[in-house]
Amino acid sequence: MARGAGPEVVKTAQVPAGTARSGRVRGGRVRTVPRRRPPPASGLAGDGWDFYLRHPWVLQVSQARPVLGPNEYAVLEALLRILRAAGLEATLVRRVVGTLYHFVRATAQTAAEALRAGAETGVDDTEWWYARSAVMGQVVPDFAERYPTVHWLNSAAAEAAAKDEASHADDADVPYLVREAKRTFDAGLAVLLDGVAGRVPPRAASRPEDS
């Protein structure tokens, strides 16, 4: 086992490695379909998303005191090599690993909880949200005045969703919250990795894997 790896790094090691594949949820089950290999860091993150939806029980394991298994360290090693080769300093690498880990885990957990809620209650996301939207209008009739920016965002999102649905016909049968969590994952990951790329030193030389 590696020495000197503090808990902030060690607990990131459950982002699983593997071949880059895309999880598609149908009927409460995840169907894995091949996709073209993305850049390495996003590939590891995508594998993490797929892993958590295939094995949602892992999301119940506390990360305050992680398992520290060999496969966790293998994944940690793979991600560290990617970030080190980019030329990032060690302190920043630790924070980036932690940020990516928590981002992947949190977005996947939303999707996993949505699937479990629908299966346990028999009420799908669309029905649940429609019921509460109707009540919200009765309980807070001045919602738009009290929360103008929230109202603006909801209105803009509704317009965008109408246009967006045509380009996502292949996942129309995916539960609403699962679909939204996946789109949040895709967009958020791109923003995170763009930010990391902005911190890469100019002309950073690739470093040896072993020193």
pTM over 0.85: no
Number of neighbouring beta carbons within 10 Å of residue 114: 22
Q: Please give the full DSSP string across 78-103, using - where no structure is assigned.
A: HHHHHHHHTT--HHHHHHHHHHHHHH
Is residue 42 within 8 A of residue 96, CB to CB? The reply is: no
pLDDT of 177: 87
**Residue in the block written with tokens 């803009």:** 156
pLDDT of 16: 38
Instruction: Kindly give the parts of the chain with pLDDT less than 50.
Output: 1-38, 205-211
pLDDT of 145: 95
Q: What is the pLDDT of residues 81-120, one digit of tens each?
A: 999 999 999 999 999 999 999 999 999 999 999 999 988 9
Number of neighbouring beta carbons within 10 Å of residue 190: 11
pLDDT of 185: 96
**Residue in the block written with tokens 């593997």:** 18
DSSP state at residue 211: -
Query: Does residue 47 sit in helix, strand or coil?
Result: helix
Where residue 204 falls (left for φ over 0; alpha for ψ -120 to 50; beta otherwise) is: beta
- 7-121+175-198: which CATH topology? Tetracycline Repressor; domain 2 (1.10.357)
pLDDT of 8: 31
Measured between alpha carbons, how far is 89 from 29 in angstroms, rounded to an integer? Answer: 40
pLDDT of 40: 85
Is residue 93 within 8 A of residue 82, CB to CB? The reply is: no
pLDDT of 13: 35
pLDDT of 204: 55
Q: What is the dihedral of CA 169, 171, 177, 183, to 10 degrees?
A: -80
pLDDT of 44: 92
Long-range (24+ apart) CB contacts under 8 A made by 58-61 are 58/14, 59/105, 59/108, 59/109, 59/112, 61/14
Q: What do you get for the CA distance between the two ends of the chain, in Å?
A: 17
Measured between alpha carbons, how far is 44 from 50 in angstroms, rounded to an integer? Answer: 10
Give me the residue spans of the domains in the chain: 7-121+175-198, 125-171
DSSP state at residue 208: P
Amino acid at 138: Q
Kindly report the backbone phi and psi dihedral angles of residue 39, in degrees, each rounded to the nearest multiple of 5, phi listed first. Answer: -55, 150
Q: What is the pLDDT of residues 187-199, one digit of tens each?
A: 999 999 999 999 9
